[in-house]
């Protein structure tokens, strides 16, 4: 029988941490039960494990008591790291014993999965260096700043690489749990759990849910002015050459500075700002796709649709119909 360890963090956690822990425990327990109902032995022994006898969440509102101390678990097959607190800058400073134990278990053959901002703890172990990773889009800027050696891909809902799994934010941890059930049990068990817990199976992106705000905590004043110019002139067809010239900077140097400051090329930033504005208009008005397209500086319907789908994962019309009830009337 395999062993599953669900980490109970030593502080630095929030209510979503509890959701991840309980949600993962319940889904894997139900997968075991379903397997037994098919006349097979359950696949996993499931344990909540930490480094303290109990852990408080949300200023003592909830308390969890780990079933085991990690020092008593010499061998495990799968480790799940739940979401951690939203103040991501503090996550890497604690839970050192847990991080060291995770590294040792991975070296011994265990696989590791992080949920939402649990990716910060996983990245702090060094196991994600040079690898792909996803986390909550809200925490992307903090993550890139702390772990530049990790290939962050926030558009992806789940990454799967060399026995290490990560996933996007919020309650998308349920999608990761279903994904892992299929990996370890089988497709039919995953479908059953998906239906029982009413979790959409095979969802691959979190792009539709992303709210783009732009990275502005950097110290590059030229880039900040360029960002403001873009946001104030959405209806204009702005080229990168125009921007570089406007701020008296060479194109190559401007590109390099913009990427270093924001994580996006100037062209990507232009597209994302325009699409974010279009999304808000679709959500709050009954304007047509063409009207919104012109408002954000596009004149080619095909080009607008392609950019919109690339960034959000769905078409402009699908987005409007999903988030604006009035538009459907």
Say whether pLDDT at 100 is over 70.
yes
Q: Residue 299: what pLDDT?
A: 92
Identify the domain containing residue 163 by its residue range. Answer: 2-209
- 70 and 116 assigned to the same domain: yes
pLDDT bin (cut points 50, 70, 90) of residue 142 is confident
pLDDT bin (cut points 50, 70, 90) of residue 90 is low
- 241 and 318 assigned to the same domain: yes
Average pLDDT of the chain?
A: 91
Nearest to 9 by CA among 159, 124, 110: 124
Say whether pLDDT at 187 is over 90.
yes
What mean pLDDT do residues 293-309 have? 95
| Final residue belonging to a domain, choices 209, 244, 273 | 209
**Among the ranges given (72-81, 85-94, 250-259), the one the predictor scored with the smallest mean pLDDT:** 85-94
Cα 315 vs. chain centroid, distance in angstroms?
21
What mean pLDDT do residues 22-31 have? 98
| Final residue belonging to a domain, choices 157, 183, 209 | 209
Pairing of the two strands 158-161 and 164-167: antiparallel
- Please report whether residue 215 resides in a domain: no
Query: Structurally, how many domains does the chain consist of?
Result: 2
- 171 and 85 assigned to the same domain: yes
- Please report whether residue 201 resides in a domain: yes
The secondary structure element, H or E, covering residue 160 is strand 158-161
- 175 and 233 assigned to the same domain: no
- 124 and 235 assigned to the same domain: no
- 190 and 271 assigned to the same domain: no
- 144 and 257 assigned to the same domain: no
| Final residue belonging to a domain, choices 185, 209, 233 | 209
Say whether pLDDT at 24 is over 90.
yes
Pairing of the two strands 44-50 and 2-7: parallel
- 205 and 229 assigned to the same domain: no
Say whether pLDDT at 95 is over 80.
no
What's the CATH code of the domain at 231? 1.10.10.60
What's the CATH code of the domain at 176? 3.40.50.880
- 64 and 188 assigned to the same domain: yes
- In tens, the pLDDT along 115-135 reads 999 999 999 999 999 999 999
* Residue 55 or residue 291, greater confidence: 291
Q: Residue 327: what pLDDT?
A: 61
Say whether pLDDT at 91 is over 60.
no
- State pTM to two decimals: 0.82
What mean pLDDT do residues 88-92 have? 57
pLDDT bin (cut points 50, 70, 90) of residue 307 is very high
- 306 and 170 assigned to the same domain: no
Nearest to 78 by CA among 124, 30, 115: 115
- In tens, the pLDDT along 221-276 reads 999 999 999 999 988 888 999 999 998 889 999 999 999 888 889 999 999 999 99
- 191 and 225 assigned to the same domain: no
What would the DSSP string read from start to end of 43-92?
-EEEEEEESSS-EEETTTTEEE--SEEGGG----SEEEEPP--S-GGGGG
pLDDT bin (cut points 50, 70, 90) of residue 92 is low
Q: Residue 15: what pLDDT?
A: 86
């Amino acid at each position: 029988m395999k062993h599953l360890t669900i980490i109970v963090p030593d502080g630095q956690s929030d209510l979503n941490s509890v959701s991840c822990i309980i949600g993962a425990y319940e889904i894997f327990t139900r997968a075991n039960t379903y397997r037994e109902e098919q006349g097979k032995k359950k696949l996993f022994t499931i344990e909540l494990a930490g480094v303290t006898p109990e852990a408080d969440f949300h200023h003592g509102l909830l308390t969890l008591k780990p079933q085991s101390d990690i020092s008593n678990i010499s061998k495990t097959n799968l480790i799940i790291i739940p979401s951690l607190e939203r103040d991501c800058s503090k996550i890497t400073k604690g839970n050192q014993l847990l991080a060291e134990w995770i590294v040792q278990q991975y070296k011994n053959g265990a696989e590791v999965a992080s949920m939402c901002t649990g990716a910060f703890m996983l990245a702090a172990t060094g196991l994600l260096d040079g690898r792909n990773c996803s986390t909550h889009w809200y925490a992307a800027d903090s993550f890139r700043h702390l772990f530049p050696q990790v290939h962050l891909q926030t558009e992806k809902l789940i990454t799967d690489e060399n026995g290490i799994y990560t996933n996007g934010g919020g309650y998308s941890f349920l999608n990761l749990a279903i994904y892992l059930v299929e990996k370890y049990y089988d497709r039919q068990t995953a479908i059953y759990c998906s239906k029982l817990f009413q979790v959409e199976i095979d969802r691959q992106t979190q792009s539709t849910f992303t709210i783009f705000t732009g990275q502005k905590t950097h110290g590059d004043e030229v880039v900040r002015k360029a960002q403001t110019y873009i946001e104030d002139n959405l209806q204009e067809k702005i080229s990168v050459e125009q921007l570089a010239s406007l701020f008296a900077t060479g194109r190559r140097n401007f590109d390099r500075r913009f990427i270093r400051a924001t994580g996006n090329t100037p062209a990507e930033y232009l597209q994302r700002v325009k699409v974010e504005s279009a999304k808000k208009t679709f959500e709050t008005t009954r304007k047509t796709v063409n009207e919104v397209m012109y408002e954000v500086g596009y004149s080619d319907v095909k080009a607008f649709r392609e950019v919109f789908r690339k960034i959000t994962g769905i078409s402009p019309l699908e987005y409007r119909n999903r988030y604006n009830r009035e538009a459907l009337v």
